[in-house]
């Protein structure tokens, strides 16, 4: 009985410490860095310019959970984002402090084309 209780306690301790470890989110090579000011959905300001979220856009908060665009009305955030083929913002990741500290990160498609992306380390190298 004591052995079972000890085993369960150790398993719970290991699981809780594993959950406390920050998870590195994998961003695609097409993700650019910018600042979004959320307006009345689907309207946003992307790097100070008017833009729109695509229908079904996915916004992930800093905890990596999906956030509804209406809940972000009036807020601004540094993000990684992906533009779809029609020019609408399709995917958004609100960055944590650690993710914002990873520099450089391209802010335009032109920079992304001229830099090299390491998908494992999630870093960019300017050529």
Task: Give 72-122 pLDDT, tens digit per residue.
Answer: 999 999 999 999 999 999 999 999 999 999 999 999 999 999 999 999 999
Contact between residue 31 and residue 91 where contact means Cβ atoms under 8 Å apart? yes
Name the nearest CA neighbour of 36 among 87, 89, 85.
89
Q: Tell me how far the alpha carbon of residue 52 is from its chain's centroid.
A: 18
Can you give the pLDDT at residue 66?
A: 97
Q: Fill in the DSSP letter of residue 25.
A: P
Q: How many CA atoms lie within 13 A of 10 on its CB side?
A: 6
pTM tops 0.85, yes or no: no
What is residue 70's three-state secondary structure? helix
CB atoms within 10 A of CB 64: 11
Contact between residue 83 and residue 48 where contact means Cβ atoms under 8 Å apart? no
């Amino acid at each position: 009985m004591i052995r079972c209780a000890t085993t369960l306690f150790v398993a719970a301790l290991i699981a809780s410490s594993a959950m406390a470890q920050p998870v590195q989110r994998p961003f695609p090579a097409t993700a650019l860095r910018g600042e979004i000011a959320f307006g009345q959905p689907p309207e946003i300001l992307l790097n100070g310019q008017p833009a729109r979220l695509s229908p079904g856009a996915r916004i992930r908060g800093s905890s990596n959970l999906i956030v509804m665009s209406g809940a972000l009305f009036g807020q601004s955030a540094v993000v990684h984002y992906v533009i779809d083929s029609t020019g609408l913002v399709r995917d958004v990741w609100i960055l944590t402090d650690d993710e914002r500290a990873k520099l450089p990160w391209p802010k335009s498609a032109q920079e992304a084309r001229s830099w090299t992306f390491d998908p494992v380390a999630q870093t960019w190298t300017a050529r």
